[in-house]
Amino acid sequence: PVRRATPEEVAAVPPLPVSLRSEVLHEDEGLLVLNKPAGVAVHGGSGIRLGVIEQLRQDRPDARFLELVHRLDRDTSGLLLVAKKRAVLVALHELLRHNRMEKSYLALVQGQFPQARQRVNLPLHKYMTASGERRVAIQAEGKPSETLFTRLQTWPEATLLEARLLTGRTHQIRVHLAHLGFPIAGDDKYGNYDWNHQLTRLGFKRMFLHAARLSFVHPLDQRPLVFEAPLPLPLAQILTRLAKSGLGEESLAPPRRVRQKQE
């Protein structure tokens, strides 16, 4: 039997935060584009009652269809695409499957990235730890995974990269960079624990991974669409600090071996 929520339970569900409503960058009859803040899950589960998609549905009770086109990690900020029609969802998934939707991210990594441009093709395998945490590792029998990295700016202790996804695997950018020896700043799963601790002391308390650019052809009218999300203030501030004075002497010689968070 279907259980219906009581009026008290419905009233207890919080409304869509005003901050999230203000992050809708584009909306038309077929889709909407959000600039998701860091720290907000895209969907509920794993102890999270409401994610972005549940909050959108709650805020728009008359909407006949709302589905995520793709996902962003909870700690990743930036562009998130939501379909308002099933036909649009199917069409956008086709674009993703055939690499006809361009998704680019900005990532700050530890160390000096040596290549101006590097294409990484390393298979990824998902698994669960003994504690029930979802993780991803490089594994020969994993799914093919490709990322194109472009070096944007380098400092003595860090590099700003653009990462373009050529496939869309879970934690793809994070695992590829950690495997190369250039962990993302603030990544508590695959990053360098000591460097992250230092960044926390400097007031940087999130992961520096931002979905900055999204481009594709609209499935309904074939319009070319390009969306860009500016860097959130905490990310812009850490870049300003790097440009002015660096992050401190302790981080000038990052270890080549990445010390990751213990299980």
Within a domain: 256: no
Q: Say what the pTM is.
A: 0.84
pLDDT tens, 75-133? 999 999 999 999 999 999 999 999 999 999 999 999 999 999 999 999 999 999 988 88
Within a domain: 245: yes
Q: Give the number of domains in the chain.
A: 1
| Token duo for residue 3 | 């259980």
Within a domain: 234: yes
Domain that includes residue 177, residue range: 9-251
| Token duo for residue 63 | 């909407």
Q: How many CB atoms lie within 10 A of CB 255?
A: 12
Within a domain: 257: no
pLDDT of residue 131: 86
* Catalytic one of 62, 73, 75, 221: 73
Within a domain: 2: no
Within a domain: 187: yes
Instruction: Give the domain CATH number at 123.
Output: 3.30.2350.10
Q: How far, in Å, CA of 9 to CA of 15, rounded?
A: 13
Within a domain: 171: yes
pLDDT of residue 3: 40
pLDDT of residue 47: 60
pLDDT tens, 127-178? 999 888 889 999 999 999 999 999 999 999 999 999 999 999 999 999 999 9
| Token duo for residue 100 | 């006809």
73 has catalytic annotation: yes
Nearest CA among 233, 171, 173, 244 for reference residue 204: 233
Within a domain: 32: yes
Q: How many CB atoms lie within 10 A of CB 248?
A: 13
